[in-house]
Structure 1
Amino acid sequence: MIWREPKTNWADEDFVNTEDWNRVEGNLEYVSSFDGIGYTPKAWTVSDFPTVSRINRIKSGINELAGRISAQPLEISTQNLQKFGCGDMNQLESYLLRLYERTKQLELGTVRAGTTVAGREINLPIGGI
């Protein structure tokens, strides 16, 4: 799983294709892996259509992660997919980018606890090294 730069400049003349949905799914999987949510992306194929349930699944995954890092939930309406357009895609991908930046900040600020021996017996050399 890798982070792929999201498209945040959607325009009215742009078309959302399977590559775009797979990028969104993959980026959500990448970001959620920092918090152990375990989001499982669904691979989009050319025969798939963005249904309300599929977009809501993505939105739910984003909002679950947002809740864990104390971020505001993603507010996009999926009630009428005929109105789901470039502004919604910009919002969705921009939100994922902000979550990515936030989780990177949290990751860099996390101090890992533990020891170098991790419960193993310590054997010290006798007589010097």
Structure 2
Amino acid sequence: MAWQTPKTNWKQGDKVNIQDYNRWKNNITYLRELSLEVYKAYTLTDMGTDKAYTDYIYADEINTIEANLAALPVHTYPFVIGEQQTYYPNQPTPDYKEFNRIESACLLIYNNLTGQIHGRRRLAFTLGGDKI
């Protein structure tokens, strides 16, 4: 899966659709995979398969996204990404501020990880020469 540019300009009245949910889920998965290039292996809670138009998004699935997003700085660099929220069935849902926090946090982590990966120093020669 590939990185998808986050939507960081959510405003009141914007509607969430399946593409948004799938982007959050897949970007977090991508960030974990990207982080393994410079950090030790770790796992995140499984977020399931992509949603289709006939599927609903449930509170526990948003909570899993929140938990996995909060886990990334624990296992990589301690980015300041805001406070993890918890949602409950039949209660208020995330609002545009929370969507901006989630997407901005993903973008912050992505930019930092790609910077770390591209900034690694490499030797200009192979140790041991031509020996096999």
Bin of the TM-score, shorter chain as denominator length: 0.7 to 0.9
CA–CA distance in structure 2, aligned partners of residues 61 and 77 of structure 1: 12
Can you give the 5+ residue segments of structure 1 that lack an aligned partner in the other structure? 124-129
State the superposition RMSD in angstroms.
2.7
Structure 2 equivalent of residue 49 of structure 1: 56
Q: Which residue, out of 107, 118, 121, partners 2:117? A: 107
CA–CA distance in structure 1, aligned partners of residues 73 and 81 of structure 2: 6
* Paired residue total: 121
User: TM-score w.r.t. structure 1 length?
Assistant: 0.76
CA–CA distance in structure 2, aligned partners of residues 73 and 14 of structure 1: 22
Is 1:34 aligned to 2:34, yes or no? yes
User: TM-score w.r.t. structure 2 length?
Assistant: 0.74
CA–CA distance in structure 1, aligned partners of residues 87 and 27 of structure 2: 24
Maintained 8 Å contact 1:3/1:27: yes
Q: CA deviation at 1:83?
A: 4.1
Cα distance, 1:5–1:83 mapped onto 2, change above 3 Å: same
- Identity rate of aligned residues, in percent? 26
The structure whose Rg is larger is 1
Q: CA deviation at 1:34?
A: 1.8
Q: Deviations over 1:36-78 (max 9, x none)?
A: 3455553112233332211111112111111122223541423
